[in-house]
Structure 1
């Protein structure tokens, strides 16, 4: 079991001037949002690291929390993913994620969610090794002071699980 420690910002568009590490097309859905049990299909489309382009199917469990939470994530076979997708029975959430390398060595993950839908939005995340490091991070120190202005890390209702509930479960 790992610990996920990350900050989250609402943003508009892709940042400019940072090396692109990878681009992934994703679709994700939730078996449960309390606790979080998520499936995700990840299609790697661009890799600045020379990694082969491939598709992965992931099952993830997350504890409650905002800045940090426990996370168990592992690959599953495509057939198992399709069974879980069928069990969920709702349209999965499409996301396009671009991961950029920051000057301090961190990675910035920027996500465009539900493109073309009335509810589409953008958000960015940076993962950290500790809560202290996360709290000390200043976007201006890596040239993102004007881009990462709307920090929603500690705000309730800002998770993808909450978005799933609002746009999939309550619409069903």
Structure 2
């Protein structure tokens, strides 16, 4: 079991140097949306994910329980046929966190986070969606804890913080 602590942002313009970053091709279908049970292909890796809501989190926290279970291609192909609604297809770019994402004081007081930022272990996952969601671009940043998520200062090219807004979840989009 893992705890996913992420913030999510809308983006209207892609960074100019996007081709310099690694990316994954992702396709996923939802067998259920609440709780979210999805099957995903990420390049040539297949898995099923259970994502609970954040009802177990304390008030004001954003963490969600998440389990990933590996699948083989045949199992993925079998289960994705049973998916409801829209298939989600997107290209996910992995961009190092913006250098001004945390104050100097915060990084000084949190050497573990400073190390992760310096070693580029915290990434912006920039999702560029394909049909039927062409034009949708969402940036997600996953954090090691609630405190660092709260202290994060969004990149200048992020537009709106939509963390927790269901209409920006892939599960919701699959049911549209």
TM-score category, normalised to shorter length: 0.7 to 0.9
Residue 152 of structure 1 is matched in structure 2 by 162
Q: How many pairs were matched up?
A: 149
Match of 2:88 among 90, 93, 97: 93
Give, in whole Å, the separation in 2 of the partners of 1:18 and 1:121.
16
Post-superposition Cα deviations, 1:5-64, rounded to whole Å, max 9, x if no partner, equal 000001024324589552111111100001110011111xxxxxxxxxxx1011000101
Match of 2:143 among 109, 113, 128: 128
Question: Is 1:112 equivalent to 2:128 in the alignment?
Answer: yes
Give, in whole Å, the separation in 2 of the partners of 1:18 and 1:137.
22
Gaps of 5+ in 1: 44-54, 167-172
TM-score of the aligned structures, taking structure 1 as reference length: 0.78
Secondary structure, counterpart of 1:132 in structure 2: helix
Runs of 4+ in 1 over 6 A off after TM superposition: none
TM-score of the aligned structures, taking structure 2 as reference length: 0.76
What RMSD over aligned residues (CA atoms) do the two structures have, in Å?
2.2
Post-superposition Cα deviations, 1:97-140, rounded to whole Å, max 9, x if no partner, equal 1001124332000001124x46540000000011111011012x
* Greater strand content: 1
* Greater helix content: 2
Question: Is 1:70 equivalent to 2:65 in the alignment?
Answer: yes
Gaps of 5+ in 2: 55-60, 100-116
Residue 138 of structure 1 is matched in structure 2 by 153
